[in-house]
Amino acid sequence: MATDNRINFWRRNVKVPGSVQPVYGAQHPPLDPRLRRTYPKDTKPKFNNLKSKKASSFHEFARSTNDAWDIDDEEDEDFLRNPSPTPLGLHSSTQNQQQNEAGHTESAVSHKPSSPVTQAGNLQNVQEEEDAECEHVNGKVIKSSSDAYLSTSSVRSTLQKQQSLPVRPIIPLVARISDQNASGAPPMTVREKSRLDKFRQLLASPNTDLEELRKHSWSGIPREVRPITWRLLSGYLPANKERRELVLKRKRDEYFGFIEQYYHSRTDEHYKDTYRQIHIDIPRTNPLIPLFQQPAVQEVFERILFIWAIRHPASGYVQGINDLVTPFFVVFLSEFVTEDVENFEVAALPLDTQRNIEADSFWCMSKLLDGIQDNYTFAQPGIQNKVKALEELVSRIDEDIHNHFKRYEVEYLQFAFRWMNNLLMRELPLRCTIRLWDTYQAEAEGFSHFHLYVCAAFLIEWRKEILSMIDFQGLLMLLQNLPTIHWGNEEVGLLLAEAYRLKYMFADAPSHYKR
């Protein structure tokens, strides 16, 4: 009875609710609004005749607009075999032209490869071809590719449906390492060029002023001078320019002396478990970046981590240290690569260059770990203390978040352990980590002390999202998968500014805001 009433309602009420504009769904992109007034007179939609074309029942109305929903394959095939009358009163000659053009479009699409591997690459080309095939009369467009697609009588394949979609920006799984500015700003502004000149002036002086270099590095280091600047700020290179080449040669030779002396012992009973764990963890290091899946790169990482582990028996190798090699390796590799670093084939470099990058990465990572080694000794007391300090700090900064965690029994150790163990490398794209480390290298005790305030600022950044979660599982899922894939220099700069503000307010005021 209800169905009969509904059908009778649509038969009695000739006025169909909604706009008189044609309805298009996700599969059929709408006409470009800028082209709506470009129809020739004989083919312009006759809106005055719409009254004679009104649907007489709900089912006819639904059929005339069923491209507004994502219909399944069987319904789609029926729709294409028996197309319903279009709500637009177009001239019959225009419809014939559209059918002919649709045949051309269909044949053009059918010649496209159907392999799934090529779908994404062909999407843009197919869209451009369809746009180019629009019929022109007296220089005016009389149809869109979506109209031609509506009137085709053949069954579309899955690939063809995907190709008929409007082109959308593709969200990358991994933001490119080489992207220095995610906001799309020009690669080199006047200010950036001035900063680069200042860095080059500092680095070219006979004795580099390290304090001045740190001051300029805090807000980011230009890509062109980042390798040499990181070597200086980490303490790997001396400030005296004349001694640098000698020190580099000596330290590189020393590292490969360690390789000859110790690396063969990786199969010994005493070290095989350490090497086995390193060998397992290396492929997990940034698995979505092709650079780190190259056998040559993985062998470099195995040597670096194994040599460091046996030279630091108090801690040995701990999972998470493998991540700390990657920023140094990428930065020192970028010194020799002008193209996209993450897809570069390292084996193509000269052997001496590969050896230099490996040795420099080892020594700079060692300098970093010397300041936070208590993070990796037995029971990892450094991380335990930092997580506790983060909890205490957040309770003073933002009591709402702190109480929200307590209410849903979320322990800081459950999410912040990884933040301390990996220095936020699992939470940020690698390019953001590199920018973050510019400041860490410039800041006194950046990795051991300032990192705490960066973590606090990072947590507060997601305040709104955290407070919107009202269950334990939702909170942990959010905190372990924070949406930072599109972060760039601007977001990291704001994060560091907030961290500096927190440090300025709370570092030397243990009772400030304490309740």
Q: Which CA distances in Å does 453 have to 127, 221, 242, 373, 465? A: 48, 21, 38, 19, 20
Give the mean pLDDT of 141-168. 42
User: Residue 344 — very low, low, confident or very high, per pLDDT cuts 50/70/90?
Assistant: very high
Q: Which of 371, 402, 424 is where one domain is finished?
A: 371
pLDDT at 234 > cutoff 90: yes
Full-model pTM: 0.66
The domain total for the chain is 2
Please check whether residues 292 and 340 belong to one and the same domain. yes
Between 177 and 393, the higher pLDDT residue: 393
Between 89 and 407, the higher pLDDT residue: 407
User: Residue 136 — very low, low, confident or very high, per pLDDT cuts 50/70/90?
Assistant: very low
- Residue 5: inside a domain, yes or no? no
Please check whether residues 385 and 352 belong to one and the same domain. no
Please check whether residues 210 and 281 belong to one and the same domain. yes
User: Residue 187 — very low, low, confident or very high, per pLDDT cuts 50/70/90?
Assistant: low
Kindly report the average pLDDT of the chain as a whole number: 76
Distance CA 478, CA 365 (A): 30
Q: Which CA distances in Å does 255 have to 190, 259, 304, 363, 470? A: 41, 7, 9, 8, 52
Residue 4: predicted pLDDT: 58
Give the mean pLDDT of 267-295. 93
Percentage of the chain surpassing pLDDT 70?
Answer: 62
- Residue 154: inside a domain, yes or no? no
- Of 8-22, 81-95, 380-394, 460-474, the poorest mean pLDDT is in 81-95
Give the mean pLDDT of 180-203. 75
User: Residue 339 — very low, low, confident or very high, per pLDDT cuts 50/70/90?
Assistant: confident
Tens digit of pLDDT for each residue in 1-18?
555 555 555 555 544 444
- Residue 392: inside a domain, yes or no? yes
Q: Which of 314, 345, 371 is where one domain is finished?
A: 371
Give the mean pLDDT of 446-472. 95
Percentage of the chain surpassing pLDDT 90?
Answer: 57
The residue count of the chain comes to 515
Please check whether residues 346 and 475 belong to one and the same domain. no
- Residue 173: inside a domain, yes or no? no
pLDDT at 171 > cutoff 70: no
Q: Which H or E run contains 141? A: strand 140-141
Residue 192: predicted pLDDT: 87
Q: What is the largest CA-CA distance in the chain?
A: 96
- Of 242-251, 282-291, 358-367, the poorest mean pLDDT is in 282-291
pLDDT at 352 > cutoff 90: yes
User: Residue 59 — very low, low, confident or very high, per pLDDT cuts 50/70/90?
Assistant: low
Please check whether residues 467 and 322 belong to one and the same domain. no
Domain span including residue 366: 190-371
User: Residue 340 — very low, low, confident or very high, per pLDDT cuts 50/70/90?
Assistant: confident
Please check whether residues 241 and 365 belong to one and the same domain. yes
User: Residue 491 — very low, low, confident or very high, per pLDDT cuts 50/70/90?
Assistant: very high
Helix (H, G, I), strand (E, B), or coil: what is residue 350? coil
- Residue 166: inside a domain, yes or no? no
- Of 12-16, 95-99, 164-168, the poorest mean pLDDT is in 164-168
Question: Which CATH number characterizes residue 367's domain?
Answer: 1.10.8
- Residue 254: inside a domain, yes or no? yes
pLDDT at 170 > cutoff 50: no
Q: Which of 12, 442, 25 shows the shortest CA–CA distance to 216?
A: 442
User: Residue 405 — very low, low, confident or very high, per pLDDT cuts 50/70/90?
Assistant: very high
pLDDT at 144 > cutoff 60: no
Please check whether residues 281 and 394 belong to one and the same domain. no
User: Residue 248 — very low, low, confident or very high, per pLDDT cuts 50/70/90?
Assistant: very high
- Measure the CA dihedral 152/155/160/162, to 10°: 100
Tens digit of pLDDT for each residue in 310-333?
999 999 999 999 999 999 999 999
pLDDT at 155 > cutoff 50: no
pLDDT at 271 > cutoff 60: yes
CB 180 within 8 A of CB 223: yes
Q: Which of 371, 397, 416 is where one domain is finished?
A: 371
- Residue 213: inside a domain, yes or no? yes
Please check whether residues 324 and 267 belong to one and the same domain. yes
- Residue 185: inside a domain, yes or no? no
Please check whether residues 235 and 365 belong to one and the same domain. yes
Please check whether residues 436 and 333 belong to one and the same domain. no
pLDDT at 102 > cutoff 60: no
Please check whether residues 392 and 460 belong to one and the same domain. yes
Residue 191: predicted pLDDT: 86
Please check whether residues 359 and 389 belong to one and the same domain. no
CA 427-192-445 angle, to 5 degrees, is 45
User: Residue 219 — very low, low, confident or very high, per pLDDT cuts 50/70/90?
Assistant: very high
pLDDT at 372 > cutoff 80: yes
Residue 506: predicted pLDDT: 86
Q: Which DSSP string do the residues of 162-214 spell out, in sequence order?
A: HHTSPP-PPPPSS--TT-S-TT---SS-HHHHHHHHHHHHHHHSSB--HHHHH
Question: Which CATH number characterizes residue 412's domain?
Answer: 1.10.472.80
CB 229 within 8 A of CB 217: yes
